[in-house]
């Protein structure tokens, strides 16, 4: 069930100086108590922004929802200007989230894609996070994972922290070592495509959190579709467009047509 809630902003802080990244904590009991890992909320962003903005839920705690986001336009700029005590209108929790699995799981994130992985990581007994950033100045929020008992391993494009390379290299090492039962991934689409291919090659299940521009958030406008593959009862394969806001944002990686 979806809820429309007028939430109270308890915190809205800039995460690091080198990027327009913010951490907003909102008191909104109905959504907080009913959200599942990987779901999103649609937040109204003031006058002059007709459409709500979709933001992945980072985590829930008690009556509160944490949203970590990057300022990318007028709507998220409005969000960044909210102060403690302000009221915001939320619709959620929306969409299909991550499916929890037993065993060793890997959380694979790139850039701002790390945030939606916290909620599913907290539900797992044995989770390890593999994160990629462009450089050391952009590394952030590792404590959110480590404080919940999730080991983190970081790689940077330029080698300014950890290994030099891409997060898919860390993933390959883990898959080669074996024992991985599930991979959850969120980040740039090209990165997720490589992760999906690696997991398929090692026979490991992978769930991906897709990002597309959204309109209504409830599946009516068809603005946020992605191309997927399906197989009918007779085994014939075909292509089908699915709505990220309703059918996703989380999909089985094998469903997605990445080209």
- Asked which of 42-51, 68-77, 110-119, 217-226 is least confident by mean pLDDT, the reply is 217-226
Helix and strand counts by DSSP (H, E) for the chain:
6, 16
* pLDDT (0 to 100) of residue 230: 80
- Residue-range domain boundaries for the chain: 3-94, 98-207, 210-259
How far is Cα 252 from Cα 16, in angstroms, rounded to an integer?
33
Q: pLDDT > 90: what percent of the chain?
A: 77
pLDDT at 259 over 90: no
pLDDT at 50 over 90: no
* pLDDT (0 to 100) of residue 29: 94
Q: pLDDT > 70: what percent of the chain?
A: 97
- Predicted TM-score of the model (pTM): 0.93
How many angstroms separate the most distant Cα atoms in the chain? 57
CATH of 3-94, one of 2.40.30.10, 3.90.110.10, 3.40.50.9100, 3.30.70.580: 2.40.30.10
8-state DSSP, 49 = -
Q: Where are the beta strands (DSSP E) in 187-233?
A: 205-209, 225-231
* pLDDT (0 to 100) of residue 1: 59
pLDDT at 144 over 70: yes
Q: Reply yes or no on domain 98-207 having CATH 3.40.50.80.
A: yes
How far is Cα 76 from Cα 6, in angstroms, rounded to an integer?
17
Q: What is the pLDDT of residues 130-140, one digit of tens each?
A: 999 999 999 99
Retrieve residue 205's tokens.
Answer: 């299940």
How far is Cα 248 from Cα 94, in angstroms, rounded to an integer?
9
On the question of a common fold for 3-94 and 98-207, the answer reads no
* pLDDT (0 to 100) of residue 235: 72
């Amino acid at each position: 069930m979806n809820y429309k809630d007028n939430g109270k902003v308890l915190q809205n802080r800039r995460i690091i100086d080198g990027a327009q990244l913010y951490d907003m904590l909102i008191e909104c009991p109905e959504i907080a108590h009913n959200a599942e890992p990987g779901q999103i909320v649609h937040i109204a962003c003031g006058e002059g922004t007709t459409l709500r903005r979709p933001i992945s839920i980072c985590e829930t705690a008690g009556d509160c929802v944490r949203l970590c986001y990057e300022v990318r336009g007028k709507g998220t700029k409005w969000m960044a200007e909210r102060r403690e005590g302000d009221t915001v209108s939320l619709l959620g929790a929306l969409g299909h989230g991550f499916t929890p699995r037993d065993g060793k799981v890997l959380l694979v994130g790139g850039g701002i894609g790390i945030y939606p992985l916290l909620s599913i990581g907290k539900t797992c007994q044995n989770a390890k996070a593999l994160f990629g950033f462009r450089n050391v100045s952009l590394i952030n929020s590792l404590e959110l994972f480590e404080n919940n008992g999730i080991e983190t391993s970081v790689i940077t494009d330029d080698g300014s922290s950890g290994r030099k390379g891409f997060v898919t290299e860390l993933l390959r090492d883990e898959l080669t070592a074996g024992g991985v039962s599930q991979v959850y991934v969120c980040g740039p689409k090209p990165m997720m495509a490589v992760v999906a291919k690696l997991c398929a090659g090692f026979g490991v299940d992978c769930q991906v959190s897709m990002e597309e521009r959204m309109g209504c958030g409830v599946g009516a406008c068809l603005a946020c579709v992605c191309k997927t593959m399906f197989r009918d009862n007779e085994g014939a394969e075909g292509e089908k467009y699915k709505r990220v806001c309703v059918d996703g944002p989380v999909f089985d990686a094998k469903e997605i047509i990445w080209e």
